[in-house]
Structure 1
Amino acid sequence: MIGCLLIHGFTGAPYEVEPLAEFLKERTDWKISVPTLPGHGVPGSLKGVHYQEWINHAEAELTKLIDTCDTVYVVGFSMGGMIASYLAAQYPVDRLILLSAAAYYVNPKQLAVDIKEIIKDYLRGKLQENELFLRYKRKITETPFAATLQFRRLVSFIKPLLHQVNVPTFIAQGECDGIVPPKSAEYLFHTISAKQKKLALFKHSKHLICHCEERDTLFSQVLEFLMEKRTI
């Protein structure tokens, strides 16, 4: 049996990767796991949560799959991509998928474009219909500073370990991502030690890459990568 663990991002929830999870469920008989990291899923629950708790929870879910499956894949979105990289370096993971993985955070150039669009909708009286504004507002108002600090500590803890990743890896990044800049994907591609690796940039996709207009192409590429033969 094949198991696949999908890990969401910081301040997010399983909905961030659920479109991909559903795509895989419809086309495979794999055992799919999409856990909710501690402090996530319920607004206001991140206070007092340490980054190691996020790693520990993902480790526990991965161990369940390893115990019951012959082959295990790990998919990580944003912060979840960093956690997924850690797991791939520490456990017998067969393939790794990194989606908008947050080795670097905030893309000033794209963020400026997003803010201009928010201002336009504000002037039109359509601010509450702007999905980006609502998402940024939620992150700012519902995320304790201490939690953001824990996120940054997690990234600092995992980045020195990236060179230990040597399993086949697929890295996907939206070029219109205002949260994670494309240089993050490029850094990951050049830093991990995997001999079999692929970097795919999606011209029109923003941070929530599993919800963007190019998602069908992304999902097809992910499935193809997971099912292709490993090269030595």
Structure 2
Amino acid sequence: MVGCMLIHGFTGAPYEVEPLAEYFKNQTNWILSVPTLPGHGEEETLQGVSYNQWIATAETSLKELMEKCDTVYLIGFSMGGVLAGYLATKYQVDKLVLLSAAIHYIHPVQMIKDISVMITDLRKGRLLQNELFNRYSKKLKTTPVLASIEFRKLVQRLKPSFKRVSVPTIILQGKLDGMVPYKTAHTIYHLIDSDQKQVCIMEKSKHLICHGEDQDDVIDKVFHFLTN
């Protein structure tokens, strides 16, 4: 039996990887695991949650999936990509997919461009129609400062483990990502130890790579990688 675990990002929820999960559900008979990390989800309550809890939840979910399946694929988005890279060095997974993996974060040039567009939309009275504004303004208001510190701690602790990644890996990154610099994909490529690895830069995608203009291409590339 084939199992696939998909891990969402910081301040996010399973919806961030939902397009992939839905595609797999419709096209395969795989057992899917899409855990919600502590403090995340629709009722976000990150106050007092530590990064060790995020690691523990992801680890427990993976072990439960491995008990049911003899082939396991691991997919991680943003902070979930950091978790996935770490877990791929600790457990025997078969393939690894890294989506906008946040071993680096905040792309200043693209962020300035995005803010510029928001300012233009504000002046024209259409800020509430700006997708990025709607998506991130709530997060900025509700995310505790200590939770952001925990996120940085997680990255600092787990990033070194990428040097030990040896499983077949595909790295997908949006060229227009304002959170994770797109060159991070190449950094990861050179960092990991796998003999089978590839990078795909999605020219029209921002950070939420599964929901961008390249969505169909992202799904195709991931599915082709996992099934070949």
Q: TM-score, normalised by structure 2?
A: 0.98
Supply the AA of the counterpart residue of 2:219: F
Supply the AA of the counterpart residue of 1:8: H
8 Å Cα contact 2:11-2:44 kept in structure 1:
no
SS at match of 2:183: helix
CA distance in 2, matches of 1:43, 1:118: 27
Supply the AA of the counterpart residue of 1:93: V
For 1:74-153, what aligned pairs fall within 5 Å after superposition? Answer: 74-153=74-153
8 Å Cα contact 1:43-1:142 kept in structure 2:
no
Q: Give the deviation of 1:135 after TM superposition.
A: 2.0
CA distance in 1, matches of 2:111, 2:75: 25
For 1:62-81, what aligned pairs fall within 5 Å after superposition? Answer: 62-81=62-81
CA distance in 1, matches of 2:163, 2:181: 20
1:186 alignment partner in structure 2: 186
2:224 alignment partner in structure 1: 224
Supply the AA of the counterpart residue of 1:170: I
Question: Percent of counterpart pairs with the same letter?
Answer: 53
2:172 alignment partner in structure 1: 172
8 Å Cα contact 2:6-2:33 kept in structure 1:
yes
Tell me which stretches of 4 or more aligned residues in structure 1 moved more than 6 Å. Answer: none
SS at match of 2:96: strand
Q: Give the deviation of 1:131 after TM superposition.
A: 1.3
Q: Does 1:160 align with 2:160?
A: yes
1:44 and 1:227, CA in 2 relative to 1: closer, same or farther beyond 3 A?
closer
SS at match of 1:35: coil
Q: Give the deviation of 1:44 after TM superposition.
A: 4.7
SS at match of 2:172: strand
In structure 2, runs of 5+ residues without a counterpart are: none
8 Å Cα contact 1:104-1:183 kept in structure 2:
no
CA distance in 1, matches of 2:170, 2:49: 30
Q: Give the deviation of 1:185 after TM superposition.
A: 1.0
CA distance in 1, matches of 2:93, 2:173: 22
Q: Give the deviation of 1:52 after TM superposition.
A: 0.7
In structure 1, runs of 5+ residues without a counterpart are: none
Q: TM-score, normalised by structure 1?
A: 0.96
SS at match of 2:163: helix
Q: Give the deviation of 1:187 after TM superposition.
A: 1.1
Q: Give the deviation of 1:182 after TM superposition.
A: 1.0
SS at match of 2:198: strand
Superposition RMSD on alpha carbons, in Å? 0.8
Q: Give the deviation of 1:205 after TM superposition.
A: 0.4
Supply the AA of the counterpart residue of 1:3: G
1:211 alignment partner in structure 2: 211
Q: Give the deviation of 1:183 after TM superposition.
A: 2.0
The worse-fitting range, judged by mean Cα deviation, of 176-185 and 5-14 is 176-185
Supply the AA of the counterpart residue of 2:26: E
1:36 alignment partner in structure 2: 36
